[in-house]
Amino acid sequence: MTTNPLEIARALAGQFTILREIGQGGMGVVYLARDDKLDRPVALKVLPSDSSDTVARERFLREGRTAARLAHPNIVPIYRADEMGGIAFFTMAFVDGESLADRVRDRGPLQPADAVRILREVAWALAYAHARGVVHRDVKPENVLLERATGRALVTDFGIAHTAEGMYGEPKLTQAGAVLGTLQYMSPEQVAGETLDGRSDLYSLGVVAFFMLSGKLPFGDFAGAAVIIAHATRQPPSLRDVASEVPAALARVVDRCLAKNPDDRYATGEALADAFERALTESPALPSAAAVADDRSTRLSETEANAIWRRAAQLQADALRRLESRADLLTQPSSTTSVKPLAASDASSPDDSGYAIAHVVAAAQEAGISNQYVAMAMAERPQSKSGHALAAVDPALGVSERTATLYLGTQERSLAVTHVVEGTPARTLRVLGTVLQQMPYQLKFRETVGAHPLDGGVMVFDLPILSMLARGAPEAVNLYWMGASRQLLARQVQVTLRRLPGDKPRTEVTMTCDLRTGVRRNVRVSQWFAGAVGAVAALGSGILATGPAAAAVVGVGMAAATFAWYRWLYPGVFEKARGEMLNSLVAVGAVVRSEDVFGALTRDTIP
């Protein structure tokens, strides 16, 4: 691709403003642009300027015209197809999200229920196109976009779509026997250059389904011409042979899509969508990703639910004030809101009791508390030796809040730092997992609470254990977390990612640390120091002074001075720990920037 963005910007000046490149394909380069006339973001697809082939140029513009005739909720809408200043282009809706290929690459195979929802939407879109004489011919994960806000699947890139000859009065541009498409997703008849109908797209969708549910391709071990031969002559493996956890009913639907003979496949996209739905109902307890995440602790007791609300509100101080003004949300149904904690009688099973996590989250949202802080509060739940959550979600400080604040000089019981990384969430996640788990940070990943980290879930890391000497032999000592881990007795940190809106890919990374576990010890240390110093001073003064009154005054004075010193010291350690956390995130951002120059780094290449 040799299209120069500056050349495009000059040619389209006054109509569109080019913001950044967002993708490339066989038929053009796609940019995020702003429609200056309508003041809205659009995806601008441009034919490479070195493409002088008139047939290719006409095929490119025909893509825009073909897709523009397809008005369906699961097809990316086309706004305009045109030429200006020698630049052939068309504009379409900008889908704020990711491709299906990115989703599987970043998170692995989808849960069956989530995969079925997407596959049905794609099948409906293809059925709509087929009914209008349009065969996509390049159905693949890269051409299925997932809208971030709704999860809706949208089919895009009709660059090599075939319309029935004479359809819409357009000439046929593809020569007989010509093979166009993506090798790993081609149907046998497409490989053979035969006349295609909608069942060819359904074969390709079957390959997509195979990939979504297993993370692999039916003929992934083949390359080049061997892939073409395999699609035409070899029987693909059964999905269950590759991914045994996929329900049998769903695997049978996918296997039928991959039949060599089009007559053995589903006749229409509607029939395939219905088959996916039946497979979902026939398969017992097919989970979605949200259900899998929620299954970590299906029900919460009233004590647990209230403790999570309180802790989440502490992590989001502004929400705490709103929550305190709406105490009825925590104790009884509110006449001002439709969301309330789930009662035992509302449970999905007669044997269930307590609060569903989804309702705990909804109630917190109603109080203005972000999901991020609720997930962090969930991540802080103490675990038993068996790994199950204990009943007490909010561990007692061992001392009253008033006493703790008196001796420690601060009401803070947690730390949170945020850093913006100039990169996509997926890229930031990869680098973060490498950087934070090696020297000097040496965090140890424990689990993800809630959804996948790219969907708002919380990553929980254990802080390294500090040990100075072992059996007289010096050990490597991790001095990096001395403030957080050794002095404040922190045990874990939680990390969340959030994609920031804007023209450039930017990710907000937040690290939070719960410090309540060290409050009791630090109060006791403060009390012990003050008492010990006061006693020693009183004893020394009693020996030198003329009477016990003077000794008592000296002792009390030294105890007060020590007390004041510890009240000054403890908040300072807070700031030291905050710096440790922030610097670790800054290091993640620095490695992302380095990759722009040196390419992707690995655990072994990061200093």
Angle between helices 425-435 and 100-107 (to 10 degrees): 10
Contact indicator for 180, 228 with CB cutoff of 8 Å:
no
From CA 485, how far away is CA 495, in angstroms rounded?
A: 16
Give the active site residue among 50, 96, 138, 157.
138
Q: Phi and psi (nearest 5°) for 23?
A: 170, 165
Query: Which H or E run contains 347?
Result: none
DSSP-assigned states of every residue in 545-596: SSSHHHHHHHHHHHHHHHHHHHHHHHHHHHHHHHHHHHHHHHHHHHHHHHHH
Contact call for residues 61 and 81 (beta carbons, < 8 A):
yes
Residue 356 forms beta bridges with which residues? 299
Strands (E), 453-514: 458-462, 469-470, 473-474, 492-500, 506-514
Please say whether the beta carbons of 187 and 259 come within 8 A.
Answer: no
> If DSSP codes are grouped into helix, strand and coil, which group holds residue 510?
strand
CB atoms within 10 A of CB 523: 22
SS3 for 17-43 is: EEEEEEEEECCEEEEEEEECCCCEEEE
Estimate to the nearest angstrom the gap between the alpha carbon of 516 and the chain centroid. 28
SS3 per residue for 41-97: EEEEEECCCCCCCHHHHHHHHHHHHHHHCCCCCCECCEEEEEEECCEEEEEEECCCE
Amino acid letter, residue 145: L
Give 178's contacts (C-beta < 8 A, 6+ positions apart): 193
- The tokens for 282 are 């026939």
Please state, in angstroms and rounded to a whole number, the distance separating the CA atoms of residues 224 and 229. Answer: 9
Span between the terminal Cα atoms of the chain, in Å? 35
- Given the structure tokens 């105490």, which residue do they identify? 327
Q: What CA–CA distance (Å, rounded) separates 415 from 418?
A: 10
What is the C-alpha separation between 559 and 534, in angstroms, rounded? Answer: 4
Is 39 designated active site?
no
Q: What residues contact 503, with CB distance under 8 A and at least 6 apart?
A: 19, 20, 32
Structure tokens at 303: 């004590």
User: Annotated catalytic sites, by residue?
Assistant: 138
